[in-house]
Copies of this chain bind each other. A is one copy, B any other.
């Protein structure tokens, strides 16, 4: 019943997978943002190659020693934290251009699991080398700080969601967030495939899977979206957005 049913071996670096930031169409979303051609070449040399992961495989697990951060080249990941007493919280879903693994810097050990939700590719960025290079390239250093800060801000958004929103508001916010991120990557903002189960959505949103399912059905009944298993089509984005704004505005 738990996610760790598929305890696959962590695959080694895929030798054939050549990566180069300068050739990558994600460079405007990813770590090399704002670098000159020359500096991007220096970053290329540092990137420890790519790694392919089959669906269900772990990129890293809580407890693994921290050595690298990862940039998602393609595919889809989830990160989750498990406690000894069996609580399980999905802390995020990551797609192309997003950075994984920064939780590990503080203790030199990963504190969460990262699992591929579909066949995926990542770039491996050795962190010590990245720090060395970033002390020479100011814009790289600054952008790394921005990426970490962005993660903090994103986390605050999740706290807001978990702390103040009701079930349907959470799901609306979740769908709109996915929509916006797909859109930023050139995909349809209105129609997409969910890579995660209702249970994983529920864990992320602090809800049980039944509540997630009911909220989907309700949205469909009201003509906001069309759901067929994992295929989602958002019929009325503006009206979905209004679900996030309580009618009275709650001002005062």
Which A residues have a C-beta under 8 Å from some C-beta of B? 1-2, 81, 83-89, 91, 102-107, 111-112, 131-132, 134-136, 138, 141-142, 144-153, 155-160, 162-165, 203-206, 244-246, 249-252
Contact = CB atoms under 8 A, between A and B. Distances in A.
A152 B245 CA distance: 28
Contact of A152 (B135, B152, B162): B152
Contacts of A153: 103, 106-107, 111
29 contacts: A1-B252, A2-B252, A85-B244, A85-B245, A86-B246, A86-B250, A87-B165, A87-B250, A89-B159, A89-B163, A103-B153, A106-B149, A106-B152, A106-B153, A107-B153, A131-B138, A131-B142, A131-B145, A134-B135, A135-B135, A141-B141, A144-B145, A151-B152, A152-B155, A155-B155, A155-B158, A158-B159, A159-B162, A162-B162
A212 to B, nearest CB: 13
Contacts of A132: 138
A36 B2 CA distance: 47
Contacts of A158: 155, 159
A157 to B, nearest CB: 8
Given A131-B141, A138-B131, A164-B89, A149 B246 contact: no
A142 B66 CA distance: 13
